[in-house]
Amino acid sequence: MQGKGRAVIAGLGVALPPATVQEDLWEGYFSRHYASGGKRGLAKRIFQNSGVRTRQAAVSPLLEDVSDWSTERRMRRYQVEAIPLGKEAVGRALTDAGIAADELGLLAVCSCTGYATPGLDIHLARDMGMSPSLQRLFVGHMGCYAALPGLGTVADFVTSRGLPALLLCAELTSLHLQPPDTRTDIQQIVSHALFSDAAAAVVVTPQPSDGYAVSNVAALTDTTTAGHMTWDVTDLGFRMGLSPQVPDVLSLHVRELMAGLLGPHGLTTADVDGWAIHPGGPRILDVVQERLELTDEDMAASRGVLSAYGNCSSPTVLLVLDELRKRAAPPQRIVLLAFGPGLTLYGVLLERL
């Protein structure tokens, strides 16, 4: 990248609502939610095969059943829950980077699970003492891959302006629990078995003494499959559409994406020792592993995050990055991969300084 130095991830912070064991969610709520219409057995198998062991919910169905709430009521609750969660993640990222809130030149927020004006960006800037001249960006409704275009945009700002920036991804998927259908809607069952809540923030600075430099960003979108993944605003929250063909589409394109990400640097997958792959579900991870010829060790961090945290939408790939950073011997090169509506594949190459 050209400009005033390289953009480097200097700090990362994570904030999580209370966690619940997947089996307890099934026994305590979803076994009753899917008791009618002959769906209970199918739903139980989907929950058991989801790859999720524990996950978080700001609004737990074990305590509150929001499935009949209006969208307005859900959006009001989003503000109540998302602001403190976002503050916690941002505070931890700033501390990790050794940066004060008023030093930031840009705050970018990604979220597809809630909307209000003034939004998270304004509330956080005000409550955390960020500068009045701070530039702000809100990225909405991009779904699970939003962290990567967000990171690319933040990195471009840092490179061109020479100022630190922060990206926050915050999602409360628990607010979009849907009512049980009278028909067997497998897409909703899969969504209810996988999705979770989290917030993750990264601080990006002009080149410090250490950290991970953002070396490249690549994207690939297959608009012929746009209907395979949807996120529709309804009167009862946001409703997920998730075709079982999504892994097959990713299989067709993921190698081309990698060529566009690594090729300009003269690299191949063999030169990458850290993989942060968005764990959209077990089949997605299986397909990526097969097509890129990755080892079980390459996939361990992504599968571990799916098991421990579920699919948290946009923050999830950052949770995997955090796991890689914490290793006794952190990787020298990390590839972040995420997928979402479009169908869109996004990749980011990080190189340790």
The answer to whether position 311 is within a domain reads yes
Which CATH number belongs to the domain containing residue 18 in this structure? 3.40.47.10
Give the pLDDT confidence score for residue 4 in this predicted structure.
Answer: 56
Same structural domain, 266 and 195: no
The answer to whether position 131 is within a domain reads yes
- Round the average pLDDT of the chain to a whole number and report it: 95
> What is the number of domains present in the chain?
2
Would you tell me how many other CB atoms lie within 10 Å of the CB of residue 210? 10
144 given a catalytic annotation = yes
pLDDT at 1 over 50: no
The answer to whether position 281 is within a domain reads yes
Same structural domain, 186 and 224: no
The answer to whether position 2 is within a domain reads no
Its domain, for residue 253, covers 212-352
pLDDT at 185 over 90: no
The span from the first CA to the last CA of the chain, in angstroms, equals 15
Residue pair 209/194 in contact by the 8 Å Cβ criterion: no
| Lowest mean pLDDT across 176-185, 195-204, 325-334 | 176-185
The answer to whether position 33 is within a domain reads yes
Residue pair 107/158 in contact by the 8 Å Cβ criterion: no
The answer to whether position 182 is within a domain reads yes
Q: Rounded to 5, what percent of the chain is helix, strand, coil?
A: 45, 25, 30
Residue pair 312/173 in contact by the 8 Å Cβ criterion: yes
Residue pair 44/6 in contact by the 8 Å Cβ criterion: no
Same structural domain, 95 and 231: no
Same structural domain, 66 and 106: yes
Residue pair 337/324 in contact by the 8 Å Cβ criterion: no
Strand residue runs (E) in the chain: 7-15, 19-21, 54-56, 106-111, 135-140, 165-172, 197-206, 212-221, 229-234, 237-242, 274-277, 333-340, 344-352
Query: 206, 232, 267 — which closes off a domain?
Result: 206
Same structural domain, 216 and 325: yes
Same structural domain, 82 and 191: yes
pLDDT tens-digit profile of 125-142?
999 999 999 999 999 999
The answer to whether position 1 is within a domain reads no
Taken in order 47, 51, 53, 56, is the CA torsion positive or negative? negative
Provide φ and ψ at 109, rounded to 5°: -125, 130
pTM score, whole prediction: 0.96
The answer to whether position 13 is within a domain reads yes
Catalytic annotation, pick one of 110, 112, 144, 169 = 144
